[in-house]
């Protein structure tokens, strides 16, 4: 067993540490001063990544012999993370609805609350449903790819204004073997299509511009085009509802992710624009209004 020391940023990167628990504590102590809230969980993920171990293997080991390559990888991950680069970009993936999605700086890292959009579609359909669905602002493809795996008879169309995002989303569709089930479009909202859909699902950028500066530093690594929703965060949602609500089939639904602050506006907007159509706004697990469902449109 060696002595315990990982030297951090600015020092020589020497690791001679072999006790797993000490190693984890050491990573934790390096992350903490940078203000990383989930330093405990992240130190574990970093260790698993650097040592190519799963959780079970990590917990069953008391000591490890680090190779030079593993040492370098560990130090590189820590160095990037304490600069507040999101861990998902460093390790290259993020779990969403139980699936692993490839992510890099071309796409927003999928968030747990977006799983509620997937659940809403699942609730409004059945395993055998043959529906058409548009995922507008697909990003990593998290929504479209997940739904393709759970609704094998759906025909999916995924749209994004970012070519880089479309490339990442296609890679995720290949990874999960659903590439034949999804058509991808480089498009402003639904402009590239004249189809009508049973579901329009969108997690468009909805952060008010003025709030962006006050968010955690990790946000600045993510694409601006995935975050900034204009003065009140509602520009693209408005544009979608105004220009493309005729792209929905009579029995169809529009399902949107919103910011908590937009709930009252959307209630008023839908009551005025779609007076005879049901609008339901649900909260996420932290009690914030998050998912708007409008429909059916008949």
Ligand X SMILES: C[S@@+](CC[C@H](N)C(=O)[O-])C[C@H]1O[C@@H](n2cnc3c(N)ncnc32)[C@H](O)[C@@H]1O
Site of interaction with ligand X (CB under 6 A): 107-108, 110, 114, 136-140, 142-143, 159-162, 165, 188-189, 203-205, 225-226, 236
- Smallest distance from the beta carbon of 225 to ligand X, in angstroms? 5
Rounded CA separation 251/261 (Å): 29
**Omega within 30 of 0 (cis) for the link into 71:** no
The residue (of 27 and 94) whose beta carbon lies closer to ligand X is 94
- Smallest distance from the beta carbon of 201 to ligand X, in angstroms? 8
The residue (of 77 and 137) whose beta carbon lies closer to ligand X is 137
- Smallest distance from the beta carbon of 205 to ligand X, in angstroms? 5
The residue (of 223 and 296) whose beta carbon lies closer to ligand X is 223
- Smallest distance from the beta carbon of 226 to ligand X, in angstroms? 4
The DSSP bridge partners found for residue 234 are: none
- Smallest distance from the beta carbon of 207 to ligand X, in angstroms? 9
The residue (of 167 and 188) whose beta carbon lies closer to ligand X is 188
Rounded CA separation 12/19 (Å): 20
The residue (of 42 and 259) whose beta carbon lies closer to ligand X is 259
- Smallest distance from the beta carbon of 272 to ligand X, in angstroms? 23
The residue (of 76 and 100) whose beta carbon lies closer to ligand X is 100
């Amino acid at each position: 067993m060696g002595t315990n020391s990982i030297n951090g940023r600015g020092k020589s990167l020497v690791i001679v540490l072999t006790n797993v628990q000490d190693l984890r504590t050491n990573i934790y102590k390096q992350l903490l001063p940078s203000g990383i809230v989930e330093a405990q969980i992240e130190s574990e993920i970093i260790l698993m990544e650097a040592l190519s171990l799963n959780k079970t293997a990590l917990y069953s080991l008391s000591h490890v012999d680090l190779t030079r390559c593993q040492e370098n990888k560990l130090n590189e991950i820590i160095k990037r993370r304490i600069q507040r680069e999101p861990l998902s970009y460093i390790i290259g993936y993020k779990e969403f609805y139980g699936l692993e999605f490839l992510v890099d700086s071309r796409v927003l890292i999928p968030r747990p609350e977006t799983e509620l959009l997937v659940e809403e579609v699942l609730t409004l359909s059945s395993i055998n449903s043959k529906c058409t669905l548009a995922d507008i602002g697909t990003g990593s493809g998290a929504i479209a790819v997940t739904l393709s795996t759970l609704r094998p008879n759906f025909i999916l169309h995924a749209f994004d204004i970012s070519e880089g995002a479309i490339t990442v989303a296609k890679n995720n569709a290949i990874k999960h073997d659903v590439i034949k089930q999804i058509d991808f479009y480089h498009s402003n909202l639904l402009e590239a299509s004249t189809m009508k859909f049973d579901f329009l699902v969108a997690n468009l950028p909805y952060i008010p511009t003025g709030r962006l500066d006050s968010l955690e530093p990790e946000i600045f690594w993510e694409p601006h085009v995935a975050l900034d929703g204009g003065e009140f965060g509602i520009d693209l949602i408005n544009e979608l509802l105004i220009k493309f609500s005729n792209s929905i089939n009579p029995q169809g639904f529009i399902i949107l992710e919103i910011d908590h602050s937009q709930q009252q506006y959307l209630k008023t907007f839908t009551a005025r624009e779609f007076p005879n159509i049901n609008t339901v706004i649900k909260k996420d697990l932290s009690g914030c209004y998050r998912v708007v469902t409008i429909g059916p449109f008949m």
